[in-house]
Structure 1
Amino acid sequence: MRVLLTTYPEKTFFYHLVPLAWALRTAGHEVRVACQPKFAPVVTQAGLTAVPVGSDRNFWRITETRAGGTEAMREGIMPPYDAFDDVAKQNLGYLQPGLTEAVRGWHRVSNFPIVADLVEFARAWKPDLVVWEPLSQAGAIAARACGAAHARMLWSIDLFGGVRDHYLRLRGAEPDPFEAWFSGYGRKYGFEFGEDMVTGDFTLDHLPGSLQIEADLPYLRFQYVPYGGPASVPDWLQRPAERPRIALTMGLSATEIFGGYHLSLPDVLDALSDVDVEVVATAQGLGTVPANVRLVSYVPLHALAPTCAAAVHHGGLGTLATFARAGVPQLCVPHHLDEPIFAAGLARAGAGIDLRSPTADTIRESVRRLLDDPSFTRGAASLQSEMDTLPSPNDIVPDLEDLTAKFRRGS
């Protein structure tokens, strides 16, 4: 079958789609990835075929012009999706204007530049299945326009589906902003609005159940497989560590989107300087570092993780899941978006520590706890086992074939 993937041009989102695309390709299916033109090189670097569509648009730059901008995003999940786990906000007075603004703003912003070209391509290429990540609902429009089945691929907890659940329960006679938005395209391309356009015919998720928060929707869950872009393994990583190795990474978003880290890395490294460990820190521009620190600008985390005794990081899904897959106890110092939720889930699983308002000293103390308390090693091993028991991306390809046949609407 033919499978079309659509993604907003952000590495953090796209990298979650790549292992599934590889699995479909190795099963013999045709796969193409539609994206804004500037993002095509990232797609082709992953060994996939890119289809540049529409025009380039910088979502983060546009977000900066809206209330609070990216600084508001640093403080947590943007409204109204912060209501998914906040009972006080699960009311129509909060959700109705919030969803109206979300659709008018960042949902449309991330989709409008590509819709026309994407529909044109989909009608010409005739995919059987369209897979879209939650900010690329243009994929749902294109699927409906050409009759394909379509699925959401999550890169976080399902806050989009969860808030949609709350809204539908409370909506009453209020006009649905999603229905109004999608129906406009329906009149143009010849389809009627359906709830599938908001949350997919089904949802793909590669989080273990202990870290996920689900909506009342059909899910197809599979293993998280790390992919972080083109990489090579350095010589030093091919040799055994002489002391317990601690990974320290704060993720790409901190510098590429938010302009810096939310804690002082030099202070943290100084605090760890008298601990009998080797610290591998991925950062730039820190100047002189303690003798027990190996400072690198980048290292493939899936190669680093199995060599580590513990990891310190921001709680981003890709980072957390990569170390979890390797059975490594983790210290999360979360700050923005979904990081606090993942950090709390990791702590509930007994696989790590959720540290809010961190200081250099509390990070040092927490690292010692991870190394000295065997309960964290047991918790990390249990989480690793949970991930290992899920089917691989290759294993779910027959399920995708069956679901595609079930939901395909014809051309």
Structure 2
Amino acid sequence: MRVLFVANPEKAHVLPMLPLAWALRTAGHEVRVACTPWFADVITQAGLTAVPVGRDYDLWELLRRQMHTLPDWSYRPEYGLPAPYDAAQDPAKADWDHLVKGYEEIVHLWHKPASFPLIADLVRFARQWEPDLVLWEPLAMAAPIAAEAVGAAHGRLLWSADAFGTTREHFLRLRDRRPEGARPDPLGDWLGGYARMHGGEFTESMVTGHFTIDQLPASLRLESGLPSLPMRFVPYGGPAVLPKWLWAPPERPRVALTMGVSSTDHGAGYEIDVQDVLDSLADLDVEVVATVAEDEQRKLARVPSNARLVPYVPLHALAPTCSLAIHHAGFGTFLTMAQHPVPQLLLPWDFDGPVLGRRAAAQGGSLAIEADRATVPAVREAVLRLLGEPGFRERAAALRDELRALPSPNALVPELERLTAAHRSPARRSA
């Protein structure tokens, strides 16, 4: 079968999709990855075939432009998820008026500007290539438009906790209690307009797919009644070279410090004070390996003698050597460390990081501190607990076992073949 992956030009969204793309490829299926032109190198570096569609854009820059009341990108993002998706982290916000207003705003601020550059070209390619299955990350909403236009089966592949699906379930539950004629649906109306433009009608699958592939284990997922396929996360961070210093095991407990690449890729800084975190570890009998972008390294006033600063190191190679990881609660970072197993100190701030932080802390293998509360005393105390109390490593080992029990991408392929046959339209609308 022909499988088309679709994602916004954002590494944190795309890289978790690529192991499944290769699983399908090695099973004999044809695979293409649609992306904006400038992002094609990220796909081809992974040995996959990129399909440049539409015009280039930066997701963060689009958001900044839409939020025209803000002077520049140096503003501090709000804590956690934006409306309406904050209803997934705060049940009090699962309110009809909040959800409707939130969907109105997020369609205007996010979904429209991020999808519009891709839709026409993506539909054109889909009609030419006729994919049987389209797999899309949950912010790539041009994908379900194209899939419905050609009658392809399609599903979401998550790179976060499913705040999108959980919020939609809240919305539909509340909508069904409303009288006829008082059921506005800003997201459905917007998607429905494009569906009709290409010969179809809006269905809920355009919001949440025919099914959802979730790479989080059950203990970390948000509750949902959506059709879901669990899949084991396979770390992939792009081209990687193993440095010689990583060949030998560490002589002291190794602590990894990383804040990911998303912020610095887009010219933004970190939400935590890296200097404070380094200072909190300076007199401990540990070896700190900190992946800090060179621009951010230059902001540091001092580097402790027990710290090694590098711009990048492959996390899947670093993780097995670590006794502790400190990071921003990024999806890929967390799951890479969790596989070995490594207790983690999470310092989240924006989007789904706080949700994952709370779920991970409840699971027991991690501690979480909001980024703006990550003071020297707070970080130091948490680090000493995570290194000194055996219960954290025991719970981290339980999480590792839970991850290992999930189906691998290769094992998921037969189920995707079955679902494609079940959901693919027998009468394609490609003419």
TM-score normalized by structure 2?
0.92
Q: Do 1:74 and 1:258's aligned partners in 2 also have CA atoms closer than 8 Å?
A: no
What residue in structure 1 maps to residue 201 of structure 2?
Answer: 192
What residue in structure 1 maps to residue 152 of structure 2?
Answer: 148
Q: Do 2:89 and 2:355's aligned partners in 1 also have CA atoms closer than 8 Å?
A: no
Q: Deviations over 1:331-362 (max 9, x none)?
A: 11111111111111111111011123111222
What residue in structure 2 maps to residue 367 of structure 1?
Answer: 383
Tell me the CA shift for residue 199 of structure 1: 0.5
Q: Provide the rounded CA distance (Å) in 1 between the counterparts of 2:219 and 2:101.
A: 32
Structure 1: segments with no counterpart, 5+ residues: none
Tell me the CA shift for residue 193 of structure 1: 1.1
Tell me the CA shift for residue 258 of structure 1: 6.7
Matched residue count: 411
What residue in structure 1 maps to residue 94 of structure 2?
Answer: 90
Q: Do 2:280 and 2:377's aligned partners in 1 also have CA atoms closer than 8 Å?
A: yes
Q: Do 2:135 and 2:154's aligned partners in 1 also have CA atoms closer than 8 Å?
A: yes
What residue in structure 1 maps to residue 113 of structure 2?
Answer: 109
Distance of aligned partners of 1:175 and 1:270 in 2 relative to their CA distance in 1, 3 Å threshold: closer
Tell me how large the CA RMSD over aligned residues is.
1.5
Q: Deviations over 1:90-147 (max 9, x none)?
A: 1111111211222233111111111111111111111110001111111111111111
Question: Per the alignment, in what secondary structure is the counterpart of residue 41 of structure 1?
Answer: helix
Distance of aligned partners of 1:144 and 1:333 in 2 relative to their CA distance in 1, 3 Å threshold: same
Q: Which is worse superposed, 8-17 or 82-91?
A: 82-91
Question: Per the alignment, in what secondary structure is the counterpart of residue 382 of structure 2?
Answer: helix
Q: Which is worse superposed, 172-181 or 162-171?
A: 172-181
Q: Provide the rounded CA distance (Å) in 1 between the counterparts of 2:40 and 2:392.
A: 41
Counting only pairs closer than 5 Å after superposition, residues 4-403 of structure 1 correspond to structure 2 as: 4-67=4-67, 71=75, 73-171=77-175, 172=178, 173-257=182-266, 259-283=268-292, 284=294, 285=297, 286=300, 288-356=302-370, 357-403=373-419
Q: Deviations over 1:170-224 (max 9, x none)?
A: 2233232223212222222111111111100000111111111032210001101
Q: Which is worse superposed, 76-85 or 47-56?
A: 76-85
Q: Provide the rounded CA distance (Å) in 1 between the counterparts of 2:333 and 2:105.
A: 31
Q: Provide the rounded CA distance (Å) in 2 between the counterparts of 1:195 and 1:20.
A: 24
Tell me the CA shift for residue 287 of structure 1: 6.1
Amino acid at match of 2:141: Q
Amino acid at match of 2:214: D
Amino acid at match of 1:151: G
Q: Provide the rounded CA distance (Å) in 1 between the counterparts of 2:376 and 2:402.
A: 32
Amino acid at match of 1:229: G
Q: Provide the rounded CA distance (Å) in 1 between the counterparts of 2:213 and 2:223.
A: 12
Amino acid at match of 2:354: P
Question: Per the alignment, in what secondary structure is the counterpart of residue 331 of structure 1?
Answer: strand
Q: Do 1:35 and 1:53's aligned partners in 2 also have CA atoms closer than 8 Å?
A: yes
Q: Do 2:53 and 2:121's aligned partners in 1 also have CA atoms closer than 8 Å?
A: yes
Q: Provide the rounded CA distance (Å) in 1 between the counterparts of 2:315 and 2:200.
A: 44
Q: Provide the rounded CA distance (Å) in 2 between the counterparts of 1:76 and 1:237.
A: 35
Q: Provide the rounded CA distance (Å) in 1 between the counterparts of 2:267 and 2:358.
A: 22
Question: Per the alignment, in what secondary structure is the counterpart of residue 235 of structure 2?
Answer: coil
Q: Deviations over 1:143-184 (max 9, x none)?
A: 111111000111111111111111111223323222321222
TM-score normalized by structure 1?
0.96
Q: Do 2:272 and 2:347's aligned partners in 1 also have CA atoms closer than 8 Å?
A: no
% identical aligned pairs: 54
Tell me the CA shift for residue 388 of structure 1: 0.3
Question: Per the alignment, in what secondary structure is the counterpart of residue 115 of structure 2?
Answer: coil
Q: Do 2:7 and 2:34's aligned partners in 1 also have CA atoms closer than 8 Å?
A: yes
Question: Per the alignment, in what secondary structure is the counterpart of residue 151 of structure 1?
Answer: strand
Amino acid at match of 1:129: L
Structure 2: segments with no counterpart, 5+ residues: none
Q: Deviations over 1:58-86 (max 9, x none)?
A: 22112113447664634221111111232
Q: Do 2:80 and 2:355's aligned partners in 1 also have CA atoms closer than 8 Å?
A: no
Distance of aligned partners of 1:218 and 1:72 in 2 relative to their CA distance in 1, 3 Å threshold: farther
Q: Deviations over 1:357-399 (max 9, x none)?
A: 1112221221111111100110100000000000100001000
Q: Provide the rounded CA distance (Å) in 2 between the counterparts of 1:296 and 1:87.
A: 41
Q: Which is worse superposed, 259-268 or 235-244?
A: 259-268
Q: Which is worse superposed, 60-69 or 286-295?
A: 60-69
Q: Provide the rounded CA distance (Å) in 2 between the counterparts of 1:62 and 1:110.
A: 7
Q: Provide the rounded CA distance (Å) in 1 between the counterparts of 2:237 and 2:30.
A: 23
Q: Provide the rounded CA distance (Å) in 2 between the counterparts of 1:187 and 1:365.
A: 57
Q: Provide the rounded CA distance (Å) in 1 between the counterparts of 2:76 and 2:381.
A: 30
